[in-house]
Structure 1
Amino acid sequence: MAESITAQRTKGWDKPEQLDLSKADWQSGSQGAGDVQIAFVEGFIAMRNADAPGSPSLIFNPAEWRAFVLNARNGAFDLT
């Protein structure tokens, strides 16, 4: 039997060791012409490189995602 998401979590780490992204509904804010895609899976947010969908994905919990989005909106990641 598959281990539950809660059981897969490592102590002190609030994300699963494995998150099944095989059936994720990947979305792009640039109608498919952008660099990144996101998917909402089992309460987490996954982000991947649209040009290399087989590469590792970044996994955010909701609080991390909110912080990322707010900082991006405020220009924290703008190139100078």
Structure 2
Amino acid sequence: MTDKKNLLTPGEKAPISGQAREVGRRGWQPSKTEVTLVKGKRVPSTSSSGRKLQIIDPTVHKRKSNTNSRLEQIFARRL
């Protein structure tokens, strides 16, 4: 069973980006279909009324490698 605060209803804005799976009214009976959510975009409709979406795989953004070298340059100037 899932935590109700992790369930998204169709039409609301997605709080984070990632993969989501459709679940039943109380957060169980997951479907095999996954959808991609984009942060700030509306959550798509589900196959039937009363069902919600649960984020199962949040997107992880990696920082660019040149950001670290830029920080090293800044700290090297301070020494």
| Shorter-chain TM band | under 0.3
Which of 1 and 2 has greater Rg? 2
Q: Give the structure with the larger strand fraction.
A: 2
Q: What TM-score does the superposition give when structure 2 sets the normalisation length?
A: 0.24
Q: What TM-score does the superposition give when structure 1 sets the normalisation length?
A: 0.23
